[in-house]
Amino acid sequence: MSQPFPVGFVMINNGGDDVYVGVLECDVLLGAVGSLKHKRAVVRPVLARLRRLEVAVTEAGDPDRHRRALLAIATVSGDAAQVHRVLDSCERQVAGEVEIELLSTRRRMIGPHDE
């Protein structure tokens, strides 16, 4: 029998019909990175630590820019406040990383009244 959701997927239902999706984009400056290989070596552990917070995360943006990266983080919940708490935690995690500098963030929330 196949599973309806991927392995590791956790579904929390608070009994309501509302679904909220939060997206956090973090523009970061990397240290003395001179190659794409070194960039991956710096970014990959950051993404792994963010995934421990049970969010979807990827490096977006222009991959050819060696010293800059755009980290895209997403979470879903039936509770808007929970989405904000998770994104706050992710932002603190990125800001606390030693090998990168957080330049700016952008947040978006999609809720039941959005199309």
CA dist., res. 72 & res. 90, Å (int):
10
This prediction has a pTM of 0.81
**Does any domain span residue 12?**
no
Domain extent at residue 97: 20-110
CATH number of the domain at 42, please: 3.30.70.1120
If one counts the domains in the chain, the total is 1
Residue 106 lies in a domain: yes
3-state SS assignment for residue 66: coil
Element (H, E) at 88: helix 80-95
- Structure tokens of 60? 């977006």
**d(C-alpha 41, C-alpha 14), whole Å:** 39
Express each pLDDT in 15-53 by its tens digit: 568 899 999 999 999 988 888 899 999 999 999 999 999
Please compute the mean of the pLDDT values over residues 98-104 and round it to a whole number: 95
Q: CB under 8 Å to 10, separation ≥6 — which residues?
A: 54
Contact indicator for 53, 86 with CB cutoff of 8 Å: yes
Condensed to tens digits (0 to 9), the pLDDT of residues 67-99 reads 999 999 999 999 999 999 999 999 999 999 999
